[in-house]
Amino acid sequence: MASYFTINISSPNTPGLRALQTRAALDELLGRLAEARDALPAEGLVPMFLKVAPDLADGEAEAITDCVVAHGLSGIIVSNTTVSRPALKSRFRDEAGGLSGAPLTGLSTMMLGRFAEIAQGRVTLIGVGGIGSGAEAYAKIRAGASAVQLYSALVFEGPGLVGRIKRELAERLRADGFRALGEAVGAN
């Protein structure tokens, strides 16, 4: 039982996985998934979302969006961890693998905005990457996310974080004159 499935082609910790973000590989993968989905009874269909990296090259976001739309996926989750080390001062900054949490916030929000610009409402976007406050969740929503996901901050702050983010988000929505969250989606 699931609310939706995530097709994660963006983990930098799995060798070669990010190569699936190229147009040809992605088209083949999503084509096969769409065939399998379409063979299911209609009442068993569960939305599928593609999770992408924030480290995309020029043109990749357009190709990814076109593939997602062409194969009838529900949306895109932007973004997974980054292989870049934006302003990281930690002694661990040179370690291999994906970087998550606060250092990812700006990069993931920028990439989310790029996908929103390209998608023009054709698919649902879920924002993820460095969300630890209502302000950061609100930034993702204003950039184009209809929903957000929490990971790193939830590990460090526990389940009470969700209630705090909801309160802070409601305050920001009211302050900007929005009556409902949907009114703020893509407001940037």
List beta partners, residue 52.
Answer: 78
Residues 6 or more apart in contact with residue 178 via CB below 8 angstroms? 184, 187
At residue 11, the pLDDT reads: 76
pLDDT of residue 136: 97
* Residues with catalytic function: 11
Run means of pLDDT, 10 residues per run, the chain, 188 residues:
86 74 88 92 87 90 96 95 73 73 88 97 96 97 97 93 97 97 96
State residue 173's pLDDT score.
Answer: 97
Q: Give the per-residue pLDDT at 114.
A: 97
Domains in the chain, CATH or no CATH each: 5-84+98-184 (3.20.20.70)
| pLDDT number for residue 89 | 75
Give the closest residue to 79 by CA, choosing from 58, 59, 98. 98
- Of 62, 22, 67, 63, the C-alpha closest to 48 is 67
pTM to 2 decimal places: 0.91
CB 127 within 8 A of CB 140: yes
